[in-house]
């Protein structure tokens, strides 16, 4: 059993079962491709773009996201679990997760190895 010191408070025991439970939660997150609301994310992205009509931009964005999700689904087990966890965590920042961005993050992780 590990003991954790806190500022001026008695040490709090950290049991082995707590460590195992937390590690399983991380693995569970990385077991499969996450589910993102791509229509919402695309609408927010389109709101920031100019040039194409909103309908064209939205359709193009949703199409790109769907393609990236299919590619992720077929390649997911090939990416190391720590990379999957890290990239999913990065995608949750900012509120507009993207499969294209997630795939890019995972591919960059592979190239860096």
SS3 label, residue 2: strand
Structure confidence by residue, pLDDT tens digits, 11-30: 545 454 444 444 344 444 56
Which residue in this structure is represented by tokens 């997630």? 102
| pLDDT tens digits for range 45-69 | 877 766 556 677 889 999 999 999 9
pTM, full prediction: 0.68
């Amino acid at each position: 059993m590990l003991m954790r010191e806190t500022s001026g408070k008695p040490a709090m025991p950290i049991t082995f079962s707590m460590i195992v439970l937390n590690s399983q939660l991380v693995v569970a997150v990385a077991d499969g491709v996450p589910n993102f609301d791509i229509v919402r994310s695309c609408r927010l992205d389109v709101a920031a773009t100019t040039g194409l009509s909103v309908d064209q931009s939205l359709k193009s964005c949703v199409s790109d996201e769907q393609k990236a999700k299919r590619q992720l689904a077929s390649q997911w087990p090939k990416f190391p679990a720590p990379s999957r966890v890290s990239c999913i965590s990065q995608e949750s920042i900012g509120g507009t997760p993207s499969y294209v961005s997630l795939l890019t993050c995972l591919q960059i992780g592979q190239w860096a190895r």
